[in-house]
Structures are given as structure tokens and as C-alpha cells.
Homo-oligomer: A and B are copies of this chain.
């Protein structure tokens, strides 16, 4: 059987592949009318490119000519004819720019109505219009490329995992039950009154159970669901590359992921170097004020507390006198682009009013320590260590600001991968800071050297968790899991104060011979969007939802009749006009 993109097709070739080697060949092409030129040419397009079709002018071909000249833009036709070299001077730089096809037969499959927009203009149009006519938007070469690159990337990941490393692709259920604290899970009513399925946020429990089941190495390109209302650039359904291995350590998982990305990386995007840089959570917070640093540029946080150790400047003094009090700076090279420090800048340059409060020696040390040069901007924040994230986000804003002023900070073609490790296993709850919650999820194992602290100072325990960061975006996270029932029960019950009865099946499973295991999940939509340089994950998803979770093309979600809800034993609680709920 013939292979390739024209196998089993009405066409003999695609519109992008013809060149001088085909001259004289009798070919059949199928595609869309990109444009028509003066009754002389039709430019025919398919996913692979464009070919110039020459309209025959002889009287004997008047039917073909009429058919072609009557076409509207985006009509779909099949053309048969002979490949010719273009007359000298008429070549262009398109891949098919040296040839044209003299039409001898035409079949018109469909005449297109007038489009709401030209295809090539679509990307400039409002997002809602693009979404309403998504099938037209997807015809753009950019969206075609994005979808194809995504498909190829996933294929190569699969080959790597399945063919080279013995992973088993296992599908796990998406009709599951609500997990403890699963407030962001969609519910799906069943036909039994009061019983609901839940659409899981990840196959976390199932993949661990597969390890207990002896599957050894599992992966799945898994559809996941999260009901987050209208968060920007989130989707109610998204896809993760979900991986779990038995008899493995952190190092093993990280090496696997590095090799997988290297193996599947699109050739046209250059190559990536492994191993990736690794940084502890503590280092990331110290140097970048964030747990997912963009390491494409410097401008790190510098602790300048010691310079001010004996300062008498009131606000600096009071900052340092607090527990965890600290003064931090970032140096923005050539950053003094504004006359006055803007309101979001906590501090100015050494031309700032602060200067007169500082002694010359302090100023000198400050300039020396931060290696500030003339024209640089020094941003200083005094507060506790908890103010580091402010400087971290200021650092990113400065990069954007500089770039908007035409000063390149981040290489748009660079891909900086980074592992962040040694996260705290638990964090204080935001609303009840004396209680602890899992920094990631309750199944993460502690670092072996910190395990004893579980029973004494759990807030000090670091977890065997690792995040994968690309250009400042978290694109994945995973951990080595707890594989002993007693430890898992202790964490759930004694530290997190959660009701373990919802996880009976998992706790039981750990008691029947669970192997040590760990894994990771990569956010596929985000990864692909960074690779292709898209502004939004919506540009790498065929049919995304709007901010508000709507499908603007089909108008989902939609109303459902009371009759159709009856089998599910639910009814709608309509809000009253007063904003309350009617009974």
C-alpha cells in the first residue's frame, strides 16, 4: 500500500510538494481557492502549501475556464492537469514557485459563501469571532502548524516512552468520585438520586493504583478537568502527559523527562541541552523571588541587609528589626529609562531621595555589591522575606518594560528548562496559618533525611517533589510518592487533619504490597504553546473554550429540558432577581 499524505486519496499530490522534478507529470490536486487572479490563475491551497493553477484560455477548454472563473474564494475543487515550468520571470520564492499546473479538468466540490473574514486576516480579528468560526480560523497556516506540531510532539513522546522504555499506555476513568477538597471538580449526576460522578483533575490516584497493580511503567496523554470559573488562559478541560514508574528515584524520573523532551523536541526549534539546571525551592525564592524563575535573564534578587545592618533610616531599621526582616535589591541594567521612579517602584536609583539618608560608604558598598553601572536602575525592597515575591514579580515587569522600550532582555528563541526541587512538603493554610496543608498533594513522600521531622516539626519537612519550569512557566510537576500505608495515614490524619475514609481504597492498596514509585505530569497545552511561541494555550487547542468556559461555535453549555434532567434526579435552582435563590 502506498503511504504518505496522498495515499488512498482522490489527489495524486499535495499542493505544497510540486517542483521542477514534476514538470510534465499529470497530477490531481484537491484544495481550497486561496485567490483568483484576472481569470488567468487560481491559487489552490491545502494544509501543505499553495500551487498556482493556470486557467486554460483556449476555446476548447471554455467549460474548465468558466468553472474556474466562477469560483469564490475558499471554494473547494479538484483540478487535474499537467505540471509546467513557469515562464521565465514569473517564478517566485514559494516552495512551488517554479511550476504551475495547467488545468485540464475541474470538479467543483463546494462553492463557498462569502466569508465573515479573509482567512489570513483571522488572527487579527477579535478572539470571539475567531472562536465562532473556528473551522475557518483553523485554516490559517499558523493554526495548521500548531496542531501538526502538537501531534508530532506527542507521537515522539509516545515512541520514546512506549517503544524505548517499556511504558504501558493505560486509559484511566474520567467518571470518578470527588476527591477530598476537590472543590474544583465538575460533577456529573448519575441515574441514582443524589449520586454524582466527578471529572478528575488528574489521574493521580489511578496511576498510583496501577503501580500497586504491578504495571511498572504507566503513561497516558490524559484529559483532565478543572472548574475554575473564568481564570485567564485556563481551560475547563486540558491535557497532561501523565507518567508513573515503579522502583525509581527522583533522579530517574528527571532523567526520563529530560530525555523524552530532547527526543521529541521539534527539529525546527533547535535542540535542547540536558541535564537541565536544578535549583532548590529555597534558592529560587532567594535569587528570583518565585518558585518558577525565568532563567533566560539575570536581574537576580540580592540580599543587601548587611549593608544596612547599622542603618538609622527609620523604615529600613524597622524592616530589619522584624523576624525575617530583610532588605533586597534587584539591579535593572540600563533600567533608568524613566525620569521618576514610577509608583509601583518601591525605591529609586541612587539619584533618589534615599541617597541623602545614606552615608557615602554605604552608597559605595551598595554600588559595589550590586555591580551597578551608570544608567542602571536599582530597585530596593525593605520588609520581611515574604516580600521577595513582590520583587520577583517586579523583576518580570521590568523585563517586559525594557522589552517594550526596544531593549531585548529575553531571547524569544531560547528555551530555558529548570528543575526546582526540595519544596516544603506542607504549607500553612492561608486562612488558618496554624494548620498545615499539602504544598502539592498529600501523596508526596518526604525527603528521606527529613522523614523523622514528620513527627516533630512537619512544617520543616521537605518533599520529594520536583517542578519543571520552562522560561518562567511551570510546565510540570511530580514527586516520589508515599508507598507505605502507615506513613500515608499519618500524613492524612495527623498532619492534614483530613478524613481518610475517602481514600480507603488507596490506603488499603498500599497495604497489599505497594512498590516504591513516583511520577510526573506535564501540562501539554502550555508546553506546546511555549514551543510555538503562542500567546495563549487557546492557540494550540483545536476547539478551546472562551474565558467564561463557553464554546462560541456550538454555544455550549446550553439549556437542558426538565424532562431530560428527570433521569438524573436534579433540578435547576434559578437565582431570583434579588440575587438570592428561589425555593
Does A236 belong to the interface (CB within 8 Å)? yes
CB-CB under 8 A from A538, the residues of chain B are none
Residue of B nearest to A163 (CB): B155
> From residue A253, how far is it (CB to closest CB) to chain B in Å?
8
User: How far, in whole Å, are A552 and B203 apart by their CA atoms in the complex?
Assistant: 17
Count A-side interface residues using an 8 Å CB cutoff. Answer: 135
Bound form: Cα–Cα A196–B8 in Å: 40
Residue of B nearest to A256 (CB): B8
Q: Specify which chain B residues have a CB less than 8 angstroms from the CB of A173 in the assembled complex.
A: 237, 543, 545, 551, 556
A551 engages B177 (CB within 8 Å): yes
On chain B, the residues within 8 Å of A3 by CB distance are: 164-165
CB of A575 within 8 A of chain B?
Answer: yes
Interface-centre pick from A158, A245, A255 (highest chain B CB count, 10 A):
A158
Contact A573 B110 (CB under 8 A): no
Residue ID in chain B nearest A262 by CB atoms: B1
Identify A113's interface contact among B45, B46, B512, CB under 8 A. Answer: B512
CB–CB A177/B558 < 8 A: yes
8 Å CB contacts to B: which residues of A24-81?
A: 30, 32, 45-47, 74-76, 78
Known: A46-B216, A176-B556, A216-B5. A206 touches B513 (CB 8 A): no
Contact B206–A542 (Cβ < 8 Å): yes
Q: What is the 8 Å Cβ interface bit string for chain A, positions 552-568, against chain B (1 contact, 0 not)?
A: 01111111100011011
Given the complex of chains A and B, what is the CA–CA distance between A542 and B168 in angstroms? 11
Q: Is A319 an interface residue (CB 8 A)?
A: no
Q: Is A427 an interface residue (CB 8 A)?
A: no
Q: How far is the CA of A418 from the CA of B147 in the complex (A)?
A: 34
Stretch from A130-138, A343-351, A372-380, A490-498 forming part of the interface with B:
A130-138
Is B512 a contact partner of A112 (Cβ separation < 8 A)?
yes
Instruction: Confirm or deny: A549 has a beta carbon within 8 angstroms of a beta carbon on chain B.
Output: yes
Q: Binary interface profile of A, 488-529, with partner B (CB < 8 Å = 1, else 0)?
A: 000000000000000001000111111110000000000000
In the assembled complex, A223 has its CB within 8 A of some CB on chain B: yes
Q: Are A573 and B564 closer than 8 Å at their CB atoms? A: no
- Is A337 engaged at the interface, CB distance under 8 Å to the other chain? no
In the complex, the answer to whether A196 meets B513 with C-beta atoms within 8 Å is no
Q: How far is the CB of A471 from chain B (nearest CB, A)?
A: 24
Check A223 against B556 for contact (C-beta < 8 Å). no
Which of A187-195, A363-371, A447-455 sits within the interface?
A187-195
Query: Which of A88-96, A207-215, A391-399 lines the interface with chain B?
Result: A207-215
- Which residues of A157-197 are within 8 A (CB) of B? 158-159, 162-166, 168-178, 183, 186-197
Partner of A558, one of B46, B195, B248, B543: B195
CA distance A252 to B7 in the complex (A): 8
Among A135, A192, A248, A581, max chain B CB count under 10 A is at A135
Residue of B nearest to A153 (CB): B169
A228 to B, closest residue via Cβ: B191
Contact of A210 among B30, B209, B542 (CB under 8 A): B542
Contacts A557-B190, A574-B569; is A9 near B245 (CB within 8 Å)? yes
Contact assessment for B573 and A542 in the assembled complex, using a CB-CB cutoff below 8 Å: no
Contact with B along A1-27 (1 / 0, CB 8 A): 101110111110000000000000000
Minimal Cβ-Cβ distance residue in B for A162: B155
Query: What's the least CB distance linking A247 to chain B, in Å?
Result: 4
Bound-state CA distance A209–B158 (Å) is 26
| CB <8 Å contact, A8 and B557 | no
CB distance from A527 to the nearest CB of B (A): 14
- 20 pairs of residues in contact across A and B, judged by CB atoms under 8 Å: A5-B166, A11-B247, A74-B512, A74-B513, A109-B483, A112-B512, A115-B512, A133-B512, A171-B239, A173-B551, A174-B174, A175-B237, A175-B556, A177-B555, A177-B556, A177-B557, A191-B229, A198-B556, A206-B543, A569-B572
Given A8-B248, A194-B560, A209-B553, 9 new contacts (CB under 8 A): A5-B166, A5-B216, A10-B247, A138-B213, A139-B214, A155-B162, A172-B542, A190-B557, A569-B573
What 6 A-B pairs have minimum CB-CB distances, sorted nearest first? A5-B166, A177-B556, A138-B213, A112-B513, A8-B252, A195-B557
